[in-house]
Amino acid sequence: MQNLKRDIYLNRIMPYIGKNLIKVITGQRRTGKSYLLRQIIDLIKKQNPERQIIYINKEDYAFDPIKNYTDLIAYVDKTRANDEISLFVDEVQDISQFERALRHFLLKPEYDIYCTGSNSEILSGDIATLLSGRTIETEVYSLCYPEFLSFHNLEDTHENFERYMIYGGMPNLIHLPFEDEIVFNYLKNLFNTIVVRDVIERHQIRNAVLLRNLCEYIADNLGSLVSGKKVSDYLKSQKITMSPAMVIEYLTFLCEAFFISRVKRSDLQGKKILEVNEKYFFNDIGLRNSLIGFKAADMGKLLENIVFNHLKVAGYQITIGEDRTREIDFVARKNNELVYIQVCYKLENDATINREFGNLLKIKNNYPKYVVSMDVSSKATFQGINHLHVKDFCKSIIKHNAQI
């Protein structure tokens, strides 16, 4: 596995190696942040063998005595034996007031600093103020489809894309056989780890069953508009009491842990954000399937989630495009360029074809527009609208936008 480089992220971080910035790598647990750190360490050792590496992993009990920023400073001062030091702190959010230590080391030119975190709030509030303008963040996701093929040494076939749809892209699956019971048992345990460590313990949530019910609701409603009241009313019908405010709060906690992503609505130019109702997608489709199972009836939802994830990996800012008469699944913005995407399972009849292509044809600009589906014969255009099989779209959007 050590030879399997995640070039998407290495290419994004490499320009900042050795620069006077804190390189912050964020993302859901077990998406490969530690693995990426080790690859950066190998790169630095190759470039400068004399440079000292100090690596602290807060998931390793050997580093349990480092509980706050003063402990971190004391450990590094005791360990340093060189005038050129690359400092790596894995799961930095587990160290109280870690930002004070990072600022301390940043003021010393001999330090090159890297850290990882499994919560998006590590760069917010007072921390953002203290480290303002001194960080560069790179979010790491589970394996995209091209990475999945590379890690598992698989050919690009429809069968293997369906495997990806079922099992998702958590990197550690490389060590497991593709068998439902084995993979989903691993993913269920991973779900418990993420929810317990990054949501329940962090926010001192007492009702874990309520949180799981909410996760299952989101899993069953991929691609549907969600509001706090709508979820609250549904749970109430199931004899579960959860206020709209609590729904929104718990959803925010899950987003902060990179377990799910919130997608807002915008006008069809992607400029004006609409505040009411949002959609939620899972950051790994396998984790979603481990919660409520994989069903053929959900194929359209799963495809939409996969396309959304690949747009994120490729670096797009994404909204749902709307006006009074139609919805575009994704309006993706990057470097002042727009891409419009419609996702469906199959273009089975004229009504579906007219809806998916027709909504895009009404957008009167020259930005790229795609209809993405599971139709086998889907390498064509219609009045300037590109039609691609979902696996081909995933490969092309990564290749052209993420330097894989």
Residue 347 main-chain phi, psi, to 5 deg? -90, 80
pLDDT score, position 336:
86
Residues 6 or more apart in contact with residue 365 via CB below 8 angstroms:
338
Q: Phi and psi dihedrals of 369, rounded to 5?
A: -135, 135
Take residue 120 and report the two structure tokens written for it.
């998006």
Tens digits of per-residue pLDDT, 286-327? 999 999 999 999 999 999 999 999 999 999 999 999 987 789
SS (H, E, C) the chain: CCCCCCHHHHHHHHHHCCCCCEEEEECCCCCCHHHHHHHHHHHHHHHCCCCEEEEEECCCHHHCCCCEHHHHHHHHHHHCCCCCEEEEEECHHHCECHHHHHHHHHCCCCEEEEEEECCHHHHCHHHHHHCCCCEEEEECCCCCHHHHHHHHCCCCCHHHHHHHHHHCCCHHHHHCCCCHHHHHHHHHHHHHHHHHHHHHHHHCCCCHHHHHHHHHHHHHCCCCCECHHHHHHHHHHCCCCCCHHHHHHHHHHHHHCCCEEEEEEEECCCCCEEEEEEEEEECCHHHHHHHHCCCHHHHHHHHHHHHHHHHHHCCCEEEEEECCCCEEEEEEEECCEEEEEEECCCCCCHHHHHHHHHHHHCCCCCCCEEEEECCCCCCEEECCEEEEEHHHHHHHHHHHHCCC
C-alpha 144/C-alpha 307 separation (Å) is: 10
How far apart are alpha carbons 301 and 177 in whole angstroms?
Answer: 26
Q: Are 385 and 357 in contact (CB under 8 A)?
A: yes
d(CA 365, CA 359): 13
Name the β-bridge partners of 266: 273, 321
pLDDT beneath 50: ranges in the chain: 1, 404
Query: Which pLDDT does position 294 carry in this prediction?
Result: 96
Domain 7-139 fold is Rossmann fold (3.40.50)
User: Within a 10 A sphere around the Cβ of 237, how many other Cβ atoms?
Assistant: 8
CA distance 212 to 292: 11
* N residues, the chain: 404
CA 242 to chain centre: 27
Domain range annotation of the chain: 7-139, 145-401
**Are 259 and 287 spatial neighbours (Cβ–Cβ below 8 Å)?**
yes
**CA 311 → CA 38, 141, 324, 329, 330, distances in Å?**
26, 11, 25, 12, 9
Instruction: Kindly provide the b/e burial profile for residues 357-381, where b requires at least 16 CB atoms within 10 angstroms of the residue's own CB.
Output: bebbeebeeeeebbbbbbbeebeee
**Beta strands 273-282; 260-267: pairing state:** antiparallel
And the tokens for 362? 């009404």
The pLDDT, as a whole number, for residue 404 is: 43
**pTM reported for the whole predicted model:** 0.94
